[in-house]
Amino acid sequence: MGAPKKIKVLQTIRQGLVGGGETHVLGLVEQLDKSRFEPVVLSFTDGPMITRLNEMGIKNYVIPSLKAFDIRQWQRVKALLKNEQIDLVHAHGSRAASNLLIPTKALGLPIVYTIHGWSFHDDQPFVQKKVRVFSEKFITNRVNHNISVSASNQATGISHFGKFSSTVINNGIDPVKFNPDGVYKNIRQELGVPEHHTLISYIARITVQKDPLTMIRGFAEALQETSDLTLLVVGDGELKDDMMDLAKELGVSSNVIYQPFRADVPDILHASDIYCLPSLWEGLPIGLLEAMAMGTAVVATNVDGSREIVKHLENGWLIEARSANLLANAIVKLHTEKFFRAMLQKNAVKTILEKYSIHSMARKIEDLYDQVLQSPN
């Protein structure tokens, strides 16, 4: 008898740029048990994630779309599911789920939806939020199983929909790739960061969610206390020009280095002393987990997913969202109090090793795939 047929899982996500959700997909397809599962990836835009998948030898497709519920592409999606003989669909984020739900159900296939952070939030105009809540409720009620990446992510669903069930599976980090004791290239030398400077990294999509303007304002305030600081901004997004303009306006551009998305995140984090994530909301931020795994001191906002990971003054520093003053205070304290900073760094590594392993995450997701495939649709 030959080997049993592998289970073909289509992992689908909205875009090929590398952010938290895309990093999650890359880690998951790498960690899945290849003797049992064959991953295929569908993205709705091209980008560095696709390049990385090609390097990994993972079959992938791009069906161009920038819209949720993009009816024009559903036939192409359906054809892909049939041609690839997909057994199960795993949608990451609401854009991907909205464009896979109907074609998947039309073929009688099971679909799992991971909510990496809800598409609605309190900052949206009333009507926009209402529409987003309705569409998320529509999706979550119709998929076979929902995965929440954090308990707060799950609680938000329950409070907005009433009837909502999901399994909480935290994001995980690869301790081999993100190893604080590894050997890394000299990023400070490459980018010309003075050795005596405290290097602060902000690695994110430069969007409203990640509040880049508060990052610049807080950094500018910290520079008034000490000049021995460099901010390294890694990423792209619609607010990048605004971020750069504000840095110029506040006279801090000479202390800020900008880089596009880079694949060598462990090297950057190893060179960094402090990692800042001043988000307005989060699911369970992978960037934060990566920084902590690398032993970088973290400053994050006291919002949903972030506060689940960071225990204030134990393994990191929590501040209120939109507070440039509190961000500046945290940066200055961590710059000057090196012994305290070292304690936070040590505890951060311990937190990740104990609670956020990618191997544990992948096994839990595989078990859920088995459960969904064995239950009637």
Concatenating the DSSP letter of every residue in 348-364 gives HHHHHHHH-BHHHHHHH
Instruction: From first to last of the 377 residues of the chain, give the pLDDT tens digit.
Output: 566 789 999 999 999 887 889 999 999 999 999 999 999 999 999 998 999 999 999 999 999 999 999 999 999 999 999 999 999 999 999 999 999 999 999 999 999 999 999 999 888 899 999 999 999 999 999 999 999 999 999 999 999 998 899 999 999 999 999 999 999 999 999 999 999 999 999 999 899 999 999 999 999 999 999 999 999 999 999 999 999 999 999 999 999 999 998 889 999 999 999 999 999 999 899 999 999 999 999 999 999 899 999 999 999 999 999 999 999 999 999 999 999 999 999 999 999 999 999 999 999 999 999 999 998 66
Other Cβ atoms within 10 Å of 190 Cβ, number: 13
The per-residue pLDDT for 147 is 98
Fold category of 7-172+357-374 in CATH: Rossmann fold (3.40.50)
CATH architecture of residue range(s) 187-355:
3-Layer(aba) Sandwich (3.40)
- Label residue 242 exposed, middle or buried (CB < 10 Å: 0-12, 13-18, 19+): middle
How far, in Å, CA of 112 to CA of 142, rounded? 10
| pLDDT at site 3 | 66
Q: 112 forms bridges with which residues in the sheet?
A: 90, 145
Comparing CA positions, the residue from 171, 148, 94 lying closest to residue 156 is 148
CA 356 to CA 286: how far, in whole Å? 10
- CATH 3.40.50.2000 domain extents, the chain: 7-172+357-374, 187-355
Q: What's the residue count for the chain?
A: 377
The torsion region of residue 19 among left (phi > 0), alpha (psi -120 to 50) and beta comes to beta
How many degrees, rounded to 5, is the angle at CA 31 between CA 25 and CA 37?
90
